[in-house]
């Protein structure tokens, strides 16, 4: 049976390749990493925004790339400064713990859990107090959820673990995720929603993500997230951390899987005025046509010489903007604190009407 073409508009002139375009097709590995719906969303993002959403870089082999980056550059060594996430969770532990004094147990919902390493010490402290009902890892990447389970169950074999594949860009977290339980019938249970790793600054639509998190919460719940703070506009061009090492790996992986030749593109990092973000982009050195033609999809995307595809983004917050975005999403700050260098912030939120 010939599959129905789900995404084709070849009648548009933009689908007709230039005679001097190099025509390529994504590899079979590219398609194996994504569902049909994800491929359609990716095509739409490329066509409308010239962007490959960063969330897709964590799927397939991208999960190993990210974990290797994390283990090499973020897990603290004796000669490095403390991990920002671990340090801020430790600094805010007493406030978070005291916020749940009227609850019998706590569910920890780790949104974008990755390898779960940042929460290890935090979970250990709560577990010693007998506070944890269950830990729930949530991520878009099945491969990272497998890694999370392997790590967490090794560290805490007596704590109930669960996991779900969720794209927080596109949906809230349904109540069934934490209501399902086989080990505890305690009724008075509250939730901590964690969104760590300065991930909120990577989302293309931050307010939509905050609204999805808000729509997942109840009155007694807390949302805890981290991000960099400061001005994006005054970026001095220095690349470090994820903007350097993770970006380099994403760039190599993405261009190879899409079929872009090394000599036909370059990696460009810059300040983007439109989104007030630092971005990393694949810049084309010649005209290209990328043909998506599997799983019932028939779509050509054309890219001109000097056009760019965004593959990574990060937005620092300044406090007035942060407060405004939270208010727009229906959230309010209950507490916050910065690291000693005043470069990162941990924000603890409640529902605005709590």
- pLDDT tens digits for range 250-268: 999 999 999 999 999 999 9
Q: How confident is the model at residue 10 (pLDDT cuts 50, 70, 90)?
A: very low
Angle between helix axes 84-91 and 120-128 (nearest 10 degrees) is 30
Q: Which residues fall within 8 angstroms of residue 70, CB to CB, at 6 or more apart?
A: 114, 115, 117
Share of the chain above pLDDT 70, in %: 90
**What pLDDT is attached to residue 353?**
83
**CA 79 to chain CA mean position, Å:** 28
Rounded distance, CA 179 to CA 107, Å? 10
Q: How confident is the model at residue 3 (pLDDT cuts 50, 70, 90)?
A: very low
Q: Does pLDDT of 64 surpass 50?
A: yes
Backbone φ and ψ for 297, nearest 5 degrees, come out as -100, 135
Rg (CA), the chain: 21
Using one digit for the tens of pLDDT, what is the confidence trace for 147-181? Answer: 999 999 999 999 999 999 999 999 999 999 988 65
Q: Does pLDDT of 58 surpass 90?
A: yes
Q: How confident is the model at residue 79 (pLDDT cuts 50, 70, 90)?
A: low
Backbone φ and ψ for 211, nearest 5 degrees, come out as -65, -40
Longest CA pairwise span in the chain (Å): 69
- Higher pLDDT among residues 128 and 1, named by residue: 128
Closest by CA position to 348, among listed 193, 222, 229: 222
Q: What is the mean pLDDT of the chain?
A: 90
Q: Does pLDDT of 248 surpass 70?
A: yes
Question: Which pTM was predicted?
Answer: 0.90
Using one digit for the tens of pLDDT, what is the confidence trace for 287-337? Answer: 999 999 987 899 999 999 999 999 999 999 999 999 999 999 999 999 999
Rounded distance, CA 161 to CA 155, Å? 11
**What pLDDT is attached to residue 80?**
59
Q: Does pLDDT of 2 surpass 90?
A: no
Q: Does pLDDT of 230 surpass 70?
A: yes
């Amino acid at each position: 049976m010939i599959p129905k073409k789900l995404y084709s508009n070849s009648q548009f002139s933009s689908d007709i390749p230039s005679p001097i375009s190099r025509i390529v097709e994504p590899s079979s590995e590219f398609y194996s990493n994504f569902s049909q719906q994800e491929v359609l969303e990716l095509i739409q993002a490329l066509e409308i925004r010239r962007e490959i959403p960063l969330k897709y870089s964590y799927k397939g082999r991208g999960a190993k790339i990210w974990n290797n980056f994390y283990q090499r550059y973020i897990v603290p060594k004796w000669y490095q400064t403390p991990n920002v996430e671990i340090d801020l969770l430790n600094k805010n532990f007493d406030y978070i713990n005291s916020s749940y004094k009227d609850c019998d147990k706590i569910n920890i919902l780790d949104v974008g859990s990755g390898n779960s390493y940042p929460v290890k010490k935090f979970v250990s402290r709560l577990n010693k107090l007998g506070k944890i009902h269950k830990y729930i890892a949530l991520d878009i990447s099945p491969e990272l959820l497998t890694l999370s389970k392997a790590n967490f169950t090794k560290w805490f074999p007596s704590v109930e673990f669960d996991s779900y594949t969720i794209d927080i860009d596109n949906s809230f977290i349904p109540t069934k995720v934490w209501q399902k339980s086989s080990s505890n019938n305690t009724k008075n249970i509250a939730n901590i929603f964690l969104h760590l790793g300065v991930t909120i600054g990577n989302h293309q639509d931050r307010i939509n993500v905050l609204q999805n998190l808000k729509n997942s919460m109840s009155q007694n719940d807390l949302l805890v997230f981290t991000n960099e703070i400061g001005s994006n506009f005054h970026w001095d061009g220095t690349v470090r951390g994820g903007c350097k090492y993770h970006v380099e790996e994403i760039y190599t992986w993405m261009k190879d899987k899409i079929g872009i030749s090394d000599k036909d593109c370059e990696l460009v990092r810059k300040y983007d005025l439109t989104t007030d973000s630092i971005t990393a982009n694949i810049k084309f050195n010649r005209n290209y046509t990328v043909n998506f033609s599997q799983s019932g999809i028939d779509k050509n995307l054309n890219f001109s010489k000097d056009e760019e595809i965004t593959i990574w983004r990060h937005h620092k917050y300044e406090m007035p903007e942060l407060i405004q975005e939270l208010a727009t999403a229906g959230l309010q700050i209950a507490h916050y604190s910065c690291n000693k260098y005043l470069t990162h912030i941990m924000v603890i939120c409640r529902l605005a009407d709590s």
